Amino acid sequence: RPADANETAKAWQAALSNTSGPTILALTRQGLPIYDRNRAGMGAADGTLRGGYIFFEDAPDGLDMVLIATGSEVEIAMDAAKTLRADGVGVRVVSLPSWSRFEAQTAEYRAEVLPAGVPKIAIEAATTFGWERWVGNDPALGAVIGIDHFGASGPYERLYQEFGLTPDAMVEKAREMLS
């Protein structure tokens, strides 16, 4: 699930070059920002081709927290990162639009993007199932914010608020994990 138009273009490029199986581009109806990749700390959209990459980092005194998201939830992670950075937290946002492509990368690359020993929070507007592969199984070092039930409908803003898919929820969980 691409996070912005830059990632969508790269995901389309990846889809056109894939000759070994099906490809799906899951796009949102939401109006999403197009991130300026020339801004300090922003990663190049080419990382989309690797399935996951450092979308943004601001950690001048060391990395304290990694926020992981896909698609429209990257915007939520970016808003949470801004608040955490204002608190003095060294933060990284990882965009993970394709688990299978990311899994195909070297262990060294995956560890560079998602370093061991650094707390991680993933946010997903669907099930939390499977995310432990990226955040780990230790609740002190990994958490997932998501929806593990079915059947709600309504405007996404109201549902996100109701189910805690918000920057504030990510910030609260990060503060809890870092305390």
Tokens of 38: 């020339």
Give me the CATH number covering residue 85: 3.40.50.920
DSSP state at residue 43: P
- What pLDDT is stored for residue 100 in this prediction? 92
**Pairing between β-strand 53-58 and β-strand 120-123 as defined by DSSP bridges:** unpaired
Q: Smallest Cα–Cα separation from 2: which of 28, 37, 33?
A: 28
Average pLDDT over residues 66-90: 96
Q: How many domains does the chain have?
A: 1
Tokens of 59: 């950690």
Q: Are 72 and 32 in contact (CB under 8 A)?
A: yes
Residues 121-147 have pLDDT tens digits of: 999 988 878 889 999 888 889 999 988
In the predicted model, what is the mean pLDDT of the chain?
91
User: Global pTM?
Assistant: 0.91
Residues 144-167 have pLDDT tens digits of: 998 877 767 777 778 787 777 899
DSSP state at residue 42: B
Percent of the chain with pLDDT over 70: 99
Tokens of 117: 């020993």
Please state, in angstroms and rounded to a whole number, the distance separating the CA atoms of residues 92 and 41. 9
Where does the pLDDT of residue 175 fall: very low under 50, low under 70, confident under 90, or very high at 90 and above? Answer: very high
- What is the domain range of residue 72? 5-178
Q: Are 173 and 165 in contact (CB under 8 A)?
A: no
